[in-house]
């Protein structure tokens, strides 16, 4: 856990210091693919993909997060101050 | 990107189901560290203080709503399904960042929580692509909150197209704030509860 926090902070500090933009998309794509593969591997091994209840909970949870986030944002910004198209 | 994720996920599941492969637990830590390093670097280099100042207030309000709304949704889902509150809260606080949330929940709470964190956040991104135009019609820029961390990358082109340039800038700042908060919130939450 500490390594992850340090990696994130180190990246931010280096970014602030250098201000030199680099193309991180290929790196991100590769790391995301590796991470998603690992998640899939562990899920496959545990047979969790056949857990229909879990899939239903995920669906409801994602919809609830969207609804509550937008509802609160609407209350805080009163519809937002920017309406340009 | 979505194809790469889907393909990796399907290959991973198939490998796990049909082959007996054991990867060291360090595998995921290394890739998470690399990803977090470059995301931190990218966030810092793209920071433009003039633009940031202009839309900071709106974006901060949106970010607060995103975090609080996601937390409320997590608690509500936990009481609705009588399920593991920590897993549901952590999954909802992933705020669309499926790779990080899925990996962290898998690492600290097990494979069921990992799947929940991954799927719930992938669905949040997919629903954003489908529902953003409709939500924007009624909630205007408040609809940016639904995208969570993805409002600075994958869903940004959609937000720009539907809501205009200034909203896109607010979306970028909102996404930056959320992306900075997600690792800290999730790691803080999991560390505090587990230790």
- pLDDT greater at residue A38 or residue B78: B78
Reported pTM:
0.73
Using the Cα atoms of residue B172, residue B186, residue A66 and residue B3 in order, give the sign of their dihedral: positive
pLDDT (average), residues B161-168: 80
Q: In angstroms, what separates the C-alpha of A22 from chain B's closest C-alpha? A: 8
> Per-block average pLDDT, block size 10, for chain A (85 residues)?
78 86 79 78 76 88 96 84 47
CA angle, residues B181, A59, B123, in degrees to nearest 5: 55
* Percent of chain B predicted with pLDDT > 70: 94
B112 is a domain residue: yes
Would you state the pLDDT for residue A83? Answer: 46
Q: Is residue B57 part of a domain?
A: yes
Q: What are phi and psi of B89, to 5 degrees?
A: -65, -45
What count of other Cβ atoms lies within 10 Å of the Cβ of residue B46?
Answer: 13
- Classify residue B129: in a domain, yes or no: yes
Spatial distance between the Cα atoms of A80 and B58, rounded to a whole number of angstroms: 8
Q: What integer is the mean pLDDT of B165-179?
A: 85
For residue B61, being part of any structural domain is answered with yes
Give the single-character DSSP code of A48. Answer: G
Q: Which residue of A has its CA nearest to B103?
A: A39
Most confident of A31-40, A70-79, B52-61, B69-78: B69-78
* Best mutation target, A36, A60, A85, to test chain B (most B CBs within 10 A): A36
Residue B99 placed within a domain: yes
Smallest CA–CA distance from B143 into chain A, residue: A70
Query: Is the ipTM, as predicted for this complex, more than 0.85?
Result: no
Specify whether the CB–CB gap between B115 and A43 falls below 8 A: yes
Is B6 part of a structural domain of the chain? no
Residue B5 lies in a domain: no
Nearest CA-CA partner of A13 in B132, B43, B141:
B43
Mean pLDDT to the nearest integer, B58-74? 95
Number of domains into which chain B is organized: 1
Q: Where are the beta strands (DSSP E) in B6-162?
A: none
Task: Please report whether residue B56 resides in a domain.
Answer: yes
Structure tokens, B40: 């931190």
Comparing CA positions, the residue from B165, A75, A80 lying closest to residue A67 is A75
Query: Domain range spanning residue B183?
Result: 26-194
Q: Over 90: is that where the pLDDT of B163 sits?
A: no
Check B170 against A82: CB less than 8 A apart.
Answer: yes
Residues of B with Cβ-Cβ distance to A62 under 8 angstroms: 119-121, 123-124, 127
């Amino acid at each position: 856990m500490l390594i992850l926090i340090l990696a994130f902070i180190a990246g931010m500090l280096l970014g602030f210091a250098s201000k030199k933009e680099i193309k991180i998309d290929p790196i991100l794509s590769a790391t995301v693919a590796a991470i998603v593969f690992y998640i899939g591997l562990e899920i496959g091994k545990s047979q969790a993909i056949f857990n229909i209840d879990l899939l239903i909970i995920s669906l409801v949870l994602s919809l609830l997060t969207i609804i509550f986030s937008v509802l609160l944002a609407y209350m805080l910004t009163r519809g937002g101050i920017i309406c340009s198209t | 990107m979505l194809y790469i994720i889907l393909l990796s996920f399907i290959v991973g599941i198939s490998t796990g189901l049909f082959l007996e492969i054991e990867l060291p637990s360090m595998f995921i830590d290394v890739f998470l560290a690399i990803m977090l390093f470059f995301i931190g670097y990218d966030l810092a280099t793209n920071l433009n203080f003039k633009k940031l100042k202009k839309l900071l207030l709106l974006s901060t309000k949106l970010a607060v709503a995103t975090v609080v709304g996601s937390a409320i949704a997590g608690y509500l889902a936990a009481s609705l399904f009588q399920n593991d509150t920590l897993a549901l809260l952590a999954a909802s606080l992933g705020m669309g960042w499926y790779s990080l949330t899925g990996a962290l929940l898998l690492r600290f709470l097990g494979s069921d929580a990992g799947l929940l964190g991954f799927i719930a956040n992938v669905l949040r991104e997919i629903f954003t692509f489908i529902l953003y135009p409709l939500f924007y019609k009624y909630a205007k820029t408040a609809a940016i909150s639904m995208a969570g961390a993805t409002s600075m990358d994958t869903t940004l082109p959609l937000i720009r197209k539907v809501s205009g340039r200034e909203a896109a800038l607010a979306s970028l700042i909102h996404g930056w704030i959320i992306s900075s908060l997600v690792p800290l919130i999730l790691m803080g939450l999991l560390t505090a509860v587990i230790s």
